[in-house]
């Protein structure tokens, strides 16, 4: 005899079981590998329904399900497939996005023909034109193509062999559609593909048979953009670096972006670029020594040395501030060099303990280093106004040093014209015109 409450539980579980079994039948979507199914029609592609799960057809011998189903392909930046397409019974993910573009975006290089009657399908997406395969032209996956925003832009492709080529974007390699007549039955493009003409492959010295070669690409700078670092505007010709290619500037004027500050390295010292003035002629930059930034105790003692083929000091705007280190406090330095001002600051040196810092502007009559009163001296230019304020005790030594000094750019109109001809933009389009 089955008791009444037990009978109730039994009935309830039976109802639940029937529900579970009948649930997939109400679902209209096709199931892929290991998905729930009730009839043969519920399964994707070649899969058949075995034990209410979609699986490989033993008679056909496919091996889609023999391995644990792979996780859906996912690319960095959360670019997930937008759907699935089937070409010849093989399913392909579709994408409307591509991995994020960086300064060195990893891509698969494929070959394509861009001429009429070539294997590339229709005319190029950007201009609805056919192109010669001798042109250095490429198509990009849908996400990178970005609805045509990349059309006409130049990209630099770099291969594993170290060779680089500049190529123009003319086409899309569609990652969202395919497997139809319009795409010659071709599956959709992966979302990380650069399809390139034979000319690009040749320039990279790659074997055109080597489909799917890993390369990196980056946007080619067109020189009209200023350096994008911190809030300092106007850093264009002759400066280069960061987002400006080397051909957009002159040798020596390379700028790096350190902690959101543009810096230029000259004679082994980094100078922070504080501001630019392109309305004066020649244009100028105001720089401060990076090793003296917020400290008058640099790691090593190096004089300021400006490369005169790049910059000139402005004729009126600067004064030499000389900092003296390790002055003998027991001798009366003030008797030999009365102009010297001692600071309250000491610099701790690994080998010589704490050393004193004194300074003078512009130059003392007697050199305290030569007289043996001080160990080292370093010349750091400051603006004339800062030097005057320092002498009048109106400013602190650190503020005077951090204010920097102005340098005129040594650039000539002929160099600028060359730059303009190559599609660049000079910082000095007012000079000599
Ligand atoms: C696709 O699958 C169907 C049924 O499984 C089969 O009849 C057909 O031959 C397959 N086509 C190709 C190109 O493999
Ligand atoms: C150069 O870059 C600027 C700014 O990004 C852009 O507006 C312009 O269209 C580009 N020119 C070419 C020829 O790519
Ligand atoms: C000065 O700059 C020019 C141009 O960058 C460079 O050729 C030269 O070697 C530099 N001179 C010194 C002393 O660094
Ligand atoms: C400046 O450049 C030189 C040569 O490229 C390098 O050796 C030096 O470390 C750089 N100096 C700084 C402060 O980055
Ligand atoms: C730039 O230089 C011009 C000419 O010397 C000067 O009049 C102007 O005030 C300067 N601008 C800045 C922002 O320093
Ligand atoms: C800096 O220059 C001065 C004068 O030219 C020289 O006496 C001094 O030794 C130099 N200092 C260093 C650290 O090179
Ligand atoms: C500043 O010091 C440098 C040496 O570093 C020297 O060549 C220059 O003549 C000095 N300028 C002035 C105005 O004292
Ligand atoms: C400082 O000067 C005094 C007097 O000239 C001398 O006796 C002493 O040795 C000096 N100290 C150092 C650390 O050079
Ligand atoms: C060096 O100076 C620091 C403070 O600036 C002080 O704490 C330390 O005791 C000093 N060391 C010596 C050896 O005088
Ligand atoms: C600046 O201060 C120093 C000491 O703090 C003093 O000896 C000097 O006279 C002052 N100079 C001026 C112009 O006030």
CA nearest ligand 10 atom 13, residue: 392
For residue 305 and ligand 3, the question of a CB distance below 6 A is answered with no
Q: What is the mean pLDDT of residues 338-353?
A: 82
pLDDT at 279: 87
Burial of 300 (0-12, 13-18, 19+ CB in 10 A): exposed
Nearest Cα residue to 139 out of 173, 163, 165: 173
The whole-number pLDDT of residue 429 equals: 33
**Alpha carbon distance 220, 235 (integer Å):** 18
The alpha carbon of 377 and the centre of ligand 6 are apart by a number of angstroms equal to 6
Percent of the chain with pLDDT over 90: 41
Q: Is 252 in the pocket of ligand 3 (CB under 6 A)?
A: yes
Nearest CA to ligand 1 atom 4: 46
Position of tokens 């979609």?
Answer: 54
Please give the pLDDT value at position 113: 92
By the 10 Å C-beta count (0-12 exposed, 13-18 middle, 19+ buried), 197 is classed as buried
Q: What is the CA radius of gyration of the chain?
A: 35
Q: State the chain's maximal CA–CA distance in angstroms.
A: 120
Nearest atom in ligand 7 to the alpha carbon of residue 304 is 5
pLDDT at 421 over 50: no
Q: DSSP letters of 98-110?
A: -PPP-TTEEEEEE
Q: Indicate the pLDDT class of residue 401, thresholds 50, 70 and 90.
A: very high
Give the 3-state DSSP-derived string for 168-184, with helices as H, strands as E and coil as C.
EEEEEECCCCCCCHHHC
Task: Give the strands of the sheet with 405-409, arranged side by side.
Answer: 255-258, 261-266, 269-277, 284-289, 405-409, 311-313
Q: Give distance in angstroms: CA of 289 to centre of ligand 10.
A: 26
Of the pLDDT bands very low, low, confident and very high (cuts 50, 70, 90), residue 38 is: confident
Ranges assigned E (strand) in 75-130: 83-87, 90-94, 105-111
pLDDT tops 70 at residue 44: yes
| Paired residues of 91 in beta bridges | 86
Atom of ligand 8 nearest to the CA of 328: 1
Instruction: Tell me which of 39-48, 108-117, 181-190, 336-345 is least confident.
Output: 39-48
CA of 408 from ligand 5 middle (Å) equals 12
Beta bridge partners of 159: 215
Looking at residues 226-235, what average pLDDT do you find? 85
CA 210 to chain centre: 28
Most confident of 229-238, 271-280, 324-333: 271-280
When pLDDT is cut at 50, 70 and 90, the band that residue 222 belongs to is low
Average pLDDT, the chain: 80
Average pLDDT estimate for 138-142: 96
402 Cα: distance to centroid of ligand 9 (angstroms):
25
Is 354 touching ligand 9 by the criterion CB < 6 Å? Answer: yes
pLDDT value of position 6: 44
Strand ranges, E, within 189-300: 193-196, 213-219, 255-258, 261-266, 269-277, 284-289
- pLDDT value at position 5? 45
Distance 320 CA to ligand 7 centre (A): 6
C-alpha of residue 359 to centroid of ligand 8, in Å: 20
Tell me: pLDDT of 17 over 60. Answer: no
Task: Give yes or no for residue 364 CB within 6 A of ligand 6.
Answer: no
As a whole number, mean pLDDT of residues 341-349 equals 85
Nearest-angstrom CA–CA distance, 34 and 41 = 14
What's this model's pTM, rounded to 2 decimal places? 0.60
pLDDT tens readout for residues 74-123 = 454 568 899 999 888 889 999 999 998 887 899 999 999 999 887 777 88
Which parts of 350-423 are beta strand (E)? 353-360, 376-383, 405-409
Among 8-12, 298-302, 359-363, name the one with the lowest average pLDDT: 8-12
Q: In this structure, which topology does domain 105-220 adopt according to CATH? A: Barwin-like endoglucanases (2.40.40)
**For residue 330, which ligand has an atom nearest its CA?**
8
| Closest residue by Cα to residue 137 from 193, 211, 217, 200 | 200
| 392 touches ligand 10 (CB under 6 Å) | yes
Ligand 4 centroid vs 249 CA: distance in angstroms? Answer: 19
* Ligand 1 first shell, C-beta below 6 A: 46, 88-89
pLDDT in the model for residue 24: 36
- The answer to whether 24 and 38 are in contact (CB under 8 A) is yes
Tell me what pLDDT residue 413 has.
55
Question: Distance from the CA of 352 to the center of ligand 6, in angstroms?
Answer: 19
pLDDT of 65 higher than 80: no
Ligand nearest to the CA of 264: 4
Q: What share of the chain is helix, strand, coil (3-state, %, to 5)?
A: 15, 30, 50
* CA neighbor of 422 nearest in space, from 247, 235, 219: 247
* Distance of CA 154 from the midpoint of ligand 2 (Å): 10
Of all protein residues, the one whose alpha carbon is nearest to atom 13 of ligand 1 is 88
Quick one: CA torsion of 390, 393, 398, 401, rounded to 10 degrees? -10
Q: Is the pLDDT of residue 224 over 70?
A: yes
The domain segmentation of the chain, as residue ranges, is 33-62, 105-220, 227-409
Tell me how far the alpha carbon of residue 237 is from its chain's centroid. 20
Question: What's the average model confidence in pLDDT over 185-210?
Answer: 91
Dihedral (CA of 310, 316, 317, 323) sign: positive
pLDDT of residue 420: 52
Distances in whole angstroms, Cα of residue 387 to Cα of each of 304, 306, 371: 16, 19, 25
CB-ligand 3 contact for 364 (6 Å cutoff): no
Average pLDDT over residues 369-393: 90
From 393, 394, 400, mutation site for ligand 10 pocket: most ligand atoms within 8 A of C-beta: 393
Q: Which of 222, 223, 248 to mutate to test the pocket of ligand 2 (most atoms within 8 A of CB)?
A: 222
């Amino acid at each position: 005899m089955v008791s009444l409450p037990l009978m109730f539980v039994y009935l309830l579980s039976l109802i639940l079981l029937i529900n579970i079994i009948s649930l997939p039948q109400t679902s209209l979507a096709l199931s892929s590998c290991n998905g729930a199914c009730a009839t043969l029609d519920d399964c994707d592609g070649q899969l058949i329904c075995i034990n209410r799960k979609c699986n490989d057809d033993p008679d056909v011998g496919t091996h889609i399900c023999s391995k644990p189903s792979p996780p859906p392909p996912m690319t960095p930046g959360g670019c997930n497939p937008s759907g699935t397409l089937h070409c010849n019974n093989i399913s392909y993910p579709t994408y409307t996005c591509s991995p994020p573009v960086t300064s060195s975006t990893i891509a698969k290089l494929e070959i394509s023909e861009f001429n009429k009657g070539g294997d590339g399908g229709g005319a190029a997406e950007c201009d609805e034109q056919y192109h010669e395969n001798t042109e250095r032209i490429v198509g990009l996956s849908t996400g990178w193509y970005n609805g045509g925003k990349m059309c006409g832009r130049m990209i630099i492709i770099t291969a594993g062999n170290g060779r680089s080529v500049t190529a123009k974007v003319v086409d899309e390699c569609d990652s969202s559609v395919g497997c139809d007549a319009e795409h010659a039955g071709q599956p959709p493009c992966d979302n990380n593909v650069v399809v390139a003409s034979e000319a690009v492959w040749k320039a990279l010295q790659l074997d055109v048979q080597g489909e799917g070669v890993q390369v990196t690409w980056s946007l080619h700078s067109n020189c009209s953009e200023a350096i994008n670092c911190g809030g300092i505007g106007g850093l264009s010709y002759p400066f280069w670096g960061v987002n400006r290619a080397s051909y957009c500037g002159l040798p020596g004027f390379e700028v790096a972006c350190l902690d959101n500050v543009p810096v230029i390295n000259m004679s082994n010292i980094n100078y922070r670029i504080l501001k630019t003035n392109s309305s004066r002629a020649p244009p100028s930059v105001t720089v401060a020594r990076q090793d003296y930034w917020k400290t008058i105790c640099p790691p090593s003692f190096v004089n300021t040395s400006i490369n005169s083929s790049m910059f000139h000091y402005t004729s009126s705007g600067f004064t030499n501030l000389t900092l003296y280190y390790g002055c003998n406090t027991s001798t009366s330095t003030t008797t030999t060099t009365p102009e010297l001002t001692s600071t309250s600051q000491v610099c701790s040196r690994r080998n010589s303990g704490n050393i004193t810092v004194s300074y003078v502007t512009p130059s003392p009559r007697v050199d305290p280093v030569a007289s043996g009163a001080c160990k080292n001296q370093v010349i750091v230019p400051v603006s004339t106004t800062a030097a005057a304020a320092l002498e009048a005790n109106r400013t602190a030594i650190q503020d005077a040093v951090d204010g920097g000094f102005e340098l005129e750019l040594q650039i000539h109109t002929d160099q600028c014209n060359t730059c303009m001809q190559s599609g660049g933009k000079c910082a000095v389009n007012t000079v000599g015109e």
